[in-house]
């Protein structure tokens, strides 16, 4: 069983069907899923009254089971159902509930449980149902969504209705859905917990980026064995200095700036190589090269990018370099990680002729078209590989929304590649380390302060 997998609605239906084919009935699976959710709700309700809003499908059936389980636990329960059950399992769940059902709102209490519509919803809620949900949410102090908040699209996180209420807790049933990790829907979900129901690992499923396992250096390590990383400097050296500071704390044994001249702000523990870039990159001890932060976008910058693509054994391409990159420039078979934000992702998609809807789809299509691993960074970051692997970043502190934090992320990723991780693993490791460093940095940090916290984030992975 894999608790980190993220499934589309279609994958979830297929996974449930596998359970049915193995002899589990729909009603039994509903009892398992809703029973697990009811235990979470019982704890947070702490004896207080609960209102359960039930829809016509199996999500509504979950609601009837939750209501029955809570009543058995001693909670006062009110059930509101604007529509009659439409599936056999939901009808059976309502029969087992056996209590009163109100067709409209007006209930007021402590805890609201939203079981109106689940992951199968692909269109906006009817106006009367959206109004009912908003009204009930306003009348309750604590709100729980079962599987997904009604009105949020499972596969994209799109919010299908205006003014949907925010929830304090969302209980994902069986597996995470893309909406749990994708904006804007994720912002409505509050805390999130997974309720296992016996779903097996699904081939080709996306996964949530989790805390990596990083080993300390071997006892016989030295700076080159741990990894020599080159960072190409350019028109704005501050960005490459930020990347270097982060890279030094992320595992590489030796970080070297490759720049036409030394910058007086360069700390004494960072070596600057001022030889021509082609000559500097001829050192066979380089394990990875980062190009892009502060590079510039003129002809000289494009020439440096081309030289790095020609000579570096593995690359992280970031920032300005992404805006200069074209399909004809990419060498075949070389490990490359691209780290675009949304604007750079759009530019790359145009350059590589990629047409796709949604960030995950665009990142995957770009990875397949280019052969690069793509880290589409942002408040809901995505890592996509050419072979179809997909990882979703967990929420990170919103204080990361400051200039320079992308340079820090690129430095971490390049350091992990220099230390031996492949581009996909390095991207996932960098995402986790970046978010953990931000959590440790607190509020309103500078990118330099963020870079200093990378070492503490790394220590948490040992």
Listed in order, the ranges of the chain carrying CATH 3.40.50.10260 are 5-205
Confidence of residue 122 (pLDDT cuts 50, 70, 90): confident
pLDDT exceeds 90 at position 104: no
Handedness of CA 201, 203, 208, 211 (dihedral sign): positive
- Cis upstream peptide for 184 (omega within 30°): yes
15-to-100, 142, 197, 206, 389 alpha-carbon distances in Å: 34, 31, 11, 14, 19
Per-residue pLDDT of 271-282, as tens digits, reads 899 999 999 999
For 5-205, give the CATH class. Answer: alpha beta
Cα 371 from Cα 318, distance rounded (Å): 16
Indicate the SS3 state at residue 116: coil
Per-residue pLDDT of 124-147, as tens digits, reads 999 999 999 999 999 999 999 999
What is the rounded average pLDDT of the residues 421-425?
A: 98
Burial of 95 (0-12, 13-18, 19+ CB in 10 A): exposed
Listed in order, the ranges of the chain carrying CATH 3.40.1190.20 are 223-459
Task: Write down the pLDDT at residue 264.
Answer: 86
Q: Domain 223-459, CATH 3.40.50.2000 — does that match?
A: no
Structure tokens that stand for 218 in this block: 């071997």
Q: What pTM did the predictor assign? A: 0.93
What is the rounded average pLDDT of the residues 112-135?
A: 93
DSSP character string of 19-43: HHHTT--HHHHHHHHHHHHHHHHHH
Compute the radius of gyration of the chain from its Cα atoms.
25
Task: Write down the pLDDT at residue 1.
Answer: 42
Question: Please, what is the Cα angle at 115 between 110 and 116, to 5 degrees?
Answer: 115
Per-residue pLDDT of 429-438, as tens digits, reads 999 999 999 9
Low-confidence winner among 5-14, 180-189, 215-224, 258-267 (lowest mean pLDDT): 258-267
Per-residue pLDDT of 301-357, as tens digits, reads 999 999 999 999 999 999 999 999 999 999 999 999 999 999 999 999 999 999 998
Per-residue pLDDT of 167-197, as tens digits, reads 999 999 999 999 999 999 999 999 999 999 9
Task: Write down the pLDDT at residue 48.
Answer: 95
Structure tokens that stand for 87 in this block: 């599936």
H-assigned helices in 115-163: 127-138
């Amino acid at each position: 069983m894999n608790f980190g997998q993220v499934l589309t609605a279609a994958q979830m239906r297929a996974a449930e069907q596998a359970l049915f084919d193995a002899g589990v009935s729909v009603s039994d699976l509903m009892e398992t899923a809703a029973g697990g959710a009811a235990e979470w709700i019982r704890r947070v309700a702490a004896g207080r009254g609960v209102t359960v809003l039930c829809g016509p499908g199996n999500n509504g059936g979950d609601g009837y089971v939750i209501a029955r389980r809570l009543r058995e636990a001693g909670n006062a329960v009110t059930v509101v159902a604007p529509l009659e059950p439409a599936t056999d399992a939901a009808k059976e769940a309502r029969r087992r509930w056996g209590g009163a059902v109100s067709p409209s709102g007006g209930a007021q209490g402590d805890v609201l449980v939203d079981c109106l519509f689940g992951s199968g919803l692909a269109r906006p809620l009817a106006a009367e149902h959206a109004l009912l949900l908003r009204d009930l949410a306003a009348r309750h102090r604590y709100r729980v969504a079962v599987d997904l908040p009604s009105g949020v699209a499972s596969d994209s996180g799109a919010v299908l209705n205006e003014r949907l209420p925010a929830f304090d807790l969302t209980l994902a049933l069986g597996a995470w859905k893309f909406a749990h990790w994708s904006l804007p829907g994720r912002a409505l979900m509050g805390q999130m917990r997974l309720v296992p129901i016996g779903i097996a690992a699904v081939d080709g499923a996306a996964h949530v980026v989790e805390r990596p396992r990083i080993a300390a250096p071997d006892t016989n390590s030295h700076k080159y064995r741990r990894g020599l990383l080159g960072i190409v400097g350019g028109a704005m050296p501050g960005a490459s200095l930020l990347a270097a500071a982060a890279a030094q704390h992320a595992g590489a044994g030796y970080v070297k700036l490759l720049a036409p001249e030394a910058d007086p702000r360069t700390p004494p523990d960072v070596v600057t190589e001022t030889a021509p870039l082609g000559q500097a990159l001829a050192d066979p001890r380089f394990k990875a090269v980062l190009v892009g932060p502060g590079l510039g976008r003129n002809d000289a910058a494009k020439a440096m990018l081309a030289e790095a693509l020609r000579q570096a054994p593995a690359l992280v391409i970031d920032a300005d370099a992404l805006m200069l990159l074209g399909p004809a420039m990419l060498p075949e078979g070389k490990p490359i990680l691209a780290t675009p934000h949304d604007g750079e992702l759009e530019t790359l998609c145009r350059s590589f002729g990629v047409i796709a809807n949604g960030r995950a789809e665009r990142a995957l299509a770009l990875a397949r078209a280019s052969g690069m691993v793509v880290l589409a960074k942002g408040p809901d970051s995505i890592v996509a590989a050419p072979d179809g692997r997909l990882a979703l970043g967990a929420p990170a502190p919103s204080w990361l929304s400051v200039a320079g934090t992308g340079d820090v992320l690129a430095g971490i990723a390049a350091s992990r590649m220099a230390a031996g991780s492949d581009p996909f693993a390095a991207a996932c490791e960098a995402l986790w380390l970046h978010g953990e460093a931000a959590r440790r940095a607190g509020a309103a940090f500078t990118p330099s302060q963020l870079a200093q916290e990378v070492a503490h984030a790394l220590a948490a992975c040992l």
